[in-house]
Amino acid sequence: MRPIPITREVRAKATIGGVMMLSAALAAALAAARPSEPPPEQLQPLQGAWVSRRDGVDENPVVTGNVVRWNSGRIDVIEKRLWAPQKLTLNGWTFDVDIGSQQTSSTSDVITWTKGPDNLVWTRDRRREGENDGMMGEMSGEMSGEQQARGSGDLERQWERGEIAMTPFKHIPSVATAKTAGTADFMVDVGVSPCSPRRFRFSRILPQPPLAAQPSRILRVEIPRPVGIAFEMDRNSGHVVVAEILPNGNADKQRKLGAFTGSGPMETVRVGDVLRAFSTTTFEYGTLGLLGAEAPKKSRTLFGVPSGTKSGAAVTWSDIASALKQDQLHGSGEVTMILERRMAPEGTEGADGYN
């Protein structure tokens, strides 16, 4: 075998060494480019409900930790890069933490995201924060002082650990108030697949005795697709109610099976039930997804139907119909519904005209 000349061997080693150094440099560059979650102190000025205005168009983002939930149902994340530790990014927009701290200390509570010469102005929405029981600012009455001191930047992790419950307002969950008589907690699977259970809390919205003959109760049902239910908005109360259970649909089959097995009507849907929340499907767009480098991820959320009698709720039937349609087109598995039902007097089949 002919020996390799020393000069050629040295060149080969140099080439291999150069490739290894280039690979290491590339890996370091990719690590620096990889986004990471900002610390809570940087996210603190952004927590809460906002009005985002650009080119005369308003949107309503709510920030929980580094998660941004939009009124359209879209979910984004706030990130930071290693080479710019004082700047946060959201869908290509940049927020300077130092400047932002000065902005949010003013009474107007206005912050500005920038992208080149363009500005995206966020104004804090005090009205919506008040409607949502002090969203991001108030903790559940069951939380300890130590938990409260952690701040709003850790809410997602507290929710994941089951330390707090959330109440959904459309697509946006907010910290629930303390549990009282008549409230009900349910564990619902949400998030990107594989979903994980989260605790949601609901308070009754129907009139209770002595303003009504019978109390109401909040219940949860799981219905296979297609559910076969027609909803409508009651013009008097503004509540969304079950108007019809379509024959031979899965809700109808479930109701008949419940009557046959004696499991009771509380585990099935009935005409007149008030729709409080339902599972739907949204999409999460990361930074790479916005650039077209990866597909958006499906996310299962719980859409909270606001009370029609709540001042300033500004809920429209199109909001609810759109969320129902979105899940019909993109959802999978069973549909979770949270309902409120007027209890029937003992020995009767229905209550307050609902059968």
- Structure confidence by residue, pLDDT tens digits, 299-329: 999 999 977 544 444 457 888 888 898 888 8
Render pLDDT for 159-197 as a digit per residue (tens, 0 to 9): 888 889 999 988 888 888 888 888 999 999 998 888 999
Chunked mean pLDDT (size 10), the chain, 355 residues: 53 55 54 68 86 79 82 76 80 78 55 87 76 42 40 71 89 85 92 91 91 93 93 88 94 84 68 96 70 76 76 64 88 93 73 40
The dotted CATH code for 183-342 is 2.30.42.10
CB 300 within 8 A of CB 191: yes
User: In this structure, how many other beta carbons lie within 10 angstroms of the beta carbon of residue 110?
Assistant: 14
- Vertex 87, ends 81 and 93: CA angle to 5°? 90
Rg for the chain, CA atoms, rounded: 26
DSSP class of 354: B
User: In the block, which residue shows the tokens 């549990």?
Assistant: 179
pLDDT at 336: 96
| CA dist., res. 160 & res. 154, Å (int) | 10
What H or E segment, with its residue span, contains residue 97? helix 97-104
Residue 313: the pLDDT is 46
Q: What is the pLDDT of residue 262?
A: 60
Determine the Cα–Cα distance for residues 195 and 188; give it in Å rounded to an integer: 9
Q: And the tokens for 171?
A: 């697509």
**What mean pLDDT is reported for the chain?**
76
Task: Give residue 138's pLDDT.
Answer: 40
Q: How far is CA 313 from each of CA 62, 134, 221, 319, rounded to the nearest angstrom?
A: 15, 15, 25, 12
H helix count then E strand count, the chain: 9, 20
Q: Identify the DSSP state of 212.
A: S
Question: So what's the pLDDT on residue 302?
Answer: 95
Write out pLDDT tens, residues 46-75. Answer: 888 888 887 777 788 888 888 888 776 677
Q: Which of 170, 188, 200 is nearest to 282 (CA)?
A: 170
Backbone torsions φ then ψ of 303, nearest 5 degrees: -85, 115
* Joined tokens for residue 327: 């899940």
From 51, 57, 64, select the one nearest 110 (Cα to Cα): 51
Q: Hey, where are the domains in the chain?
A: 68-100+107-124, 183-342
Q: Is 329 exposed, middle or buried (0-12, 13-18, 19+ CB in 10 A)?
A: exposed
Determine contact, residues 45/104, Cβ cutoff 8 Å.
yes
How far lies 300's CA from each of 70, 188, 328, 339, in Å? 15, 10, 12, 19
- List of long-range contacts for 292-299, beta carbons under 8 Å, 24+ apart: 297/192, 298/192, 298/193, 298/330, 299/75, 299/190, 299/191, 299/192
Closest to 69 (Cα-Cα) out of 330, 316, 303, 337: 303
Q: How far apart are CA 193 and CA 247, in angstroms?
A: 32
Burial environment of residue 75 by CB neighbours within 10 A (0 to 12, 13 to 18, 19 or more):
buried
Cα 140 to chain centroid distance, Å, stands at 18
